[in-house]
Copies of this chain bind each other. A is one copy, B any other.
Amino acid sequence: MIVVMKSNATPQQIQHMAERIESFGLRVHVIEGTERTVLAAIGEKREETKESLARGDGVDKVVPILASYKIASREVKEETSVVRTGSLEVGGQNIAVIAGPCSVESEEQILSSAKAIQAAGATALRGGAFKPRTSPYSFQGMKEEGLKLLALAREETGLSVVTEVMATEQVELVAKYADVLQIGARNMQNYALLEAVGKCGKPVLLKRSPSGTIDEFLLAAEYILDAGNPDVMLCERGIRTFETHTRFTLPLATVGYLHERTHLPVVVDPSHGTGIASLVTPMAAASVAAGADGLIVEVHPDPETAVSDGYQSLDFAQFEDLMVRCRAVAKAVDREIAEAAVESV
Interface residues of A (CB under 8 A from B): 2, 4, 7-8, 20, 29, 31-36, 38, 40, 42-44, 46-48, 51-52, 54-56, 63, 65-66, 68-70, 75, 132-139, 166-170, 186-193, 209-211, 213-216, 219, 222-223, 226, 239-246, 249-253, 255-257, 260, 273-274, 276-279, 282-283, 285-291, 303-311, 313, 325, 328-329, 331-333
Contacts and interface: CB of A to CB of B under 8 A. Distances in A.
B279 A256 contact: yes
A200 to B, nearest CB: 15
A243 B313 CA distance: 26
- The CB with the most chain B CB atoms within 10 A, among A132, A189, A215, is that of A189
Given A251-B251, A310-B55, A329-B332, A48 B138 contact: yes
A186 B7 CA distance: 32
A274 B273 CA distance: 18
Copies, count: 4
Contact of A279 (B56, B213, B245, B253): B253
A244 B213 contact: yes
A289 to B, nearest CB: 4
A169 B223 CA distance: 19
A141 to B, nearest CB: 11
A242 B286 CA distance: 22
A249 B241 contact: yes
Contacts of A134: 47, 68, 189, 215-216, 219
A245 B257 contact: yes
B246 A249 contact: no
Nearest to A131: B191
Contacts of A305: 52
Contact of A242 (B239, B274, B313): B239
